[in-house]
Amino acid sequence: MAVSRVWIHFAVVVLLVSSCFSPAVAEESVSEEPSSVLTLDAANFSETIAKHPFIVVEFYAPWCGHCKRLAPEYEKAAAILSKHDPPVVLAKVDCNEEINKELASKYEVKGFPTLKILRNEGKNIQDYKGPRDADGIVEHLKKQVGPASAEIKSSEDASNLISEKKVFIVGVFPEYSGEQFKNFITVAEKLRSDYDFGHTSDAKFLPRGDLTINQPTVRLFKPFDELLVDTQDFNVDALENFIEASSVPSVTIFNKDPSNHLYVTKFFNSPHAKAMLFLNFSNGNFDSFKSKFQDVAEHYKGKGIIFLVGDLDASQGAFQYFGLKAEQAPLIIIQNNDGVKYLKVNLEPDHIATWLKEYKDGSLTPFTKSEPIPEVNDEPVKIVVANSLKDVVFNSGKNVLLEFYAPWCGHCKKLAPILDEVAVSFENDANVIIAKMDGTTNDIPSEFEVRGYPTVYFSSATNKIMQYDGDRTAEAIINFIQKNRDTDKETLDKEIPVQSDSGKDEL
C-alpha cells in the first residue's frame, strides 16, 4: 500500500539514487559519432541478444539527465570491453521511441537509465548494480562475465577476494561435483550482482576461520555482528534465505560511507516496523548509544522490528521527511507498517530499552508531523496544519475546500489568486471555509490521497469527502462548492417536504 511507496521515495531521497522517473524538458539529441555501443530497437532486439552470450542493455530516455551523464562513461567502457575476452557487449534502447515501449515494459523498466545484464539468449536476466563511471563499469562487468563463484586455491587467493568491508560467501567442498555443489553454484549465479562468491576444497585457506570444516559447508563472511556464520543446508531456497538473512546487520548504519548503502536500501525496502536512532556520530556518547541500541536490536531480532542508526551528517533528508530538527537529536523514531510514527527526542542511552518496551506494549502516543497552529490566521484562505486539520475540516460542521500544496510548485502559485477570489466570495458565508495546507511540512491524513500538487479536496459539513478535479477557475470552483455543500439546517427544515433525490449523487 501507500506506505511502501513512501519508504521507497524516502530511500530514493536519502540515497540520491540516480534515476529519472518522469520527463523533464525534451531536448534535441546530439550528433552521432561511430560508437562501440550497439543501438537496438524492438525489430532487432531478439536476434542481437541471441548472438551475444553476455550483453548489457541500457534502457534510456533522451530527456533524462542521468542518462546523459552516463552516456560518455558507458561509451568509454564499451570501447574498452570490446577487446575483452570473453566478449562483453554494451547496447542501448531508446525507450522514448514508440516501438520500444513494449520492450521497456517487458523488462520492467521503471526509471531511466535501467541497465540489465542478459545471458543465455536473454533467458537469464540480471539487474546491473555496479558503478556508473567507465572504470567502475569495466571492473564490475569483468567480474560479472567470469564464473559466478571464483575458485580459491591458496591463502593469497582468499585474501585477494575476501574483503573486510563486504559480505563474501564461500562454499567448502571436498570435490566440485554433486548436488550440493550444483545448488551452491545455482545460488551464486542468482545472487551474483548483490554478493561475491567463492569456493574451495581446503578450509585452511580461509581467514579468521578454524580448520575443522570437514563436511560441505557454506560460510558467510561479513563486516559486522558475528563476522562469520555457517550453514550446511544446501537446499536452493534455504541457501538463498540464509544469505539474505545473514547479510543484514542487526543494526544498519546510515552514514555517508557508500559501502553501507546496500544495507540501507534493504532496510528501507523491508516490510517490518523500523526503529531509527539519529545522533551525531562524532559526539563522545556515540558508543554508549550504539551499544544500548545494539542490545535492544538483538533482543527484538525476528520480532517484526528492525533497527538503524543514522549520523546527523547524512540524515538531512530523513529529518526533512519526518519534520524533525537537529537540536532534537539524539532521537528515536519508529514507523510501523501502517505508517504510524512514534518519536522520542533528547534521548539518553538508558531510555532506549524502556521506550522500546513501551512501544511494544502499545502505550506510546503517535507522533504527527505538523507545523505549529498559526496564531494569526486572518487571510481569506485559512492556513490548516496537520494538528488543526481535524478541528477545521472534520469537527467544524462546515463545508471546507482544502488545497494541499507545496511551496515549490508552480501550478500551486497559479492557483493561489484563484483560491483567494473564491475565498473572498464566501467571506460572508459562515458555513464555507477555503483553506490550504503545506503537504511537505505536514502529515496528510489517510482520508486524502495526495499524489501531486496541488490536490484539492472538498469536505461537506457532514464530512462527505470528494476530490475536486474541475477547471481551475474561480467560477468553476464556486459552482462546485454550491452544488456539493450540505444545505444549512434552517434551509433544510423549510425545503424538506418534497422527497427528492435530485442531482445529489456522489462524484
User: Which amino acid makes up residue 65?
Assistant: G
Residues that contact ligand NAG, how many (by CB under 6 A): 13
**CA distance readout (Å), 477 to 6, 133, 460, 465:** 30, 51, 14, 15
Cell digits of residue 391: 478541528
For ligand NAG, the binding residue among 9, 23, 39, 346 (CB under 6 A) is: 39
Q: Which is nearer to ligand NAG, 102 or 151 (CB)?
A: 102
- Residue 40 touches ligand NAG, criterion: CB under 6 A: yes
Query: What is the chain's alpha carbon radius of gyration, rounded to the nearest angstrom?
Result: 29
Q: Which is nearer to ligand NAG, 327 or 505 (CB)?
A: 327
Cis peptide before 330 (omega within 30 of 0): yes
Determine which one of 409, 416, 450, 478 is catalytic.
409
What are the beta bridge partners of residue 310?
Answer: 254, 278
Smallest distance, ligand NAG to C-beta of residue 263, A? 22
- Residue 160 touches ligand NAG, criterion: CB under 6 A: no
Q: For 427-455, give the DSSP string.
A: TT-TTEEEEEEETTTSPPPTTS--SSSSE
* CA 469/CA 455 separation, integer angstroms: 9
What are the beta bridge partners of residue 199?
Answer: 151, 171
- Residue 44 touches ligand NAG, criterion: CB under 6 A: yes
Determine whether 64 is an active site residue. yes
Q: Which is nearer to ligand NAG, 256 or 451 (CB)?
A: 256
* CA 77/CA 91 separation, integer angstroms: 11
Q: Which is nearer to ligand NAG, 57 or 356 (CB)?
A: 57
Q: Are 392 and 384 in contact (CB under 8 A)?
A: yes
- Residue 48 touches ligand NAG, criterion: CB under 6 A: yes
Smallest distance, ligand NAG to C-beta of residue 41, A? 5
Site for ligand NAG in 269-288 (CB under 6 A): 280, 282-283
* CA 478/CA 473 separation, integer angstroms: 9
Burial of 451 (C-beta count, 10 Å sphere; 0-12/13-18/19+)? exposed
Smallest distance, ligand NAG to C-beta of residue 328, A? 12
The alpha-helical segments, DSSP class H, found in 82-192 are 101-106, 134-145, 155-161, 178-191
Smallest distance, ligand NAG to C-beta of residue 26, A? 20
Determine which one of 67, 206, 275, 332 is catalytic.
67
Q: Are 84 and 145 in contact (CB under 8 A)?
A: yes
Number of H-type helices and E-type strands within the chain: 16, 20
Which helix (H) or strand (E) segment is 357 a member of?
Answer: helix 351-361
Q: Which is nearer to ligand NAG, 284 or 362 (CB)?
A: 284
Which of the stretches 38-46, 99-107, 146-154, 172-180 binds ligand NAG when contact is defined by CB under 6 A?
Answer: 38-46
Smallest distance, ligand NAG to C-beta of residue 53, A? 16
* CA 281/CA 164 separation, integer angstroms: 21
Determine which one of 37, 56, 64, 332 is catalytic.
64
φ, ψ at 149 (rounded to 5°): -125, 130
Determine which one of 412, 419, 423, 477 is catalytic.
412
Tally of CB atoms within 10 A around 64: 22
What are the beta bridge partners of residue 202?
Answer: none
- The SS3 of residue 122 is helix
Which of the stretches 40-48, 108-116, 366-374, 393-401 binds ligand NAG when contact is defined by CB under 6 A?
Answer: 40-48
Determine whether 67 is an active site residue. yes
Cell digits of residue 376: 494569526
Which of the stretches 32-40, 229-237, 249-257, 377-385 binds ligand NAG when contact is defined by CB under 6 A?
Answer: 32-40
Smallest distance, ligand NAG to C-beta of residue 282, A? 4
Q: Which is nearer to ligand NAG, 44 or 482 (CB)?
A: 44
Q: Which is nearer to ligand NAG, 308 or 381 (CB)?
A: 308
Site for ligand NAG in 308-327 (CB under 6 A): 312-313, 326
- Residue 331 touches ligand NAG, criterion: CB under 6 A: no
Which of the stretches 33-41, 149-157, 200-208, 365-373 binds ligand NAG when contact is defined by CB under 6 A?
Answer: 33-41
- Residue 144 touches ligand NAG, criterion: CB under 6 A: no
Q: Which is nearer to ligand NAG, 326 or 507 (CB)?
A: 326
- Residue 105 touches ligand NAG, criterion: CB under 6 A: no
Q: Which residues are catalytic?
A: 64, 67, 409, 412
Positions in the binding site for ligand NAG (CB under 6 A):
38-41, 43-44, 48, 280, 282-283, 312-313, 326
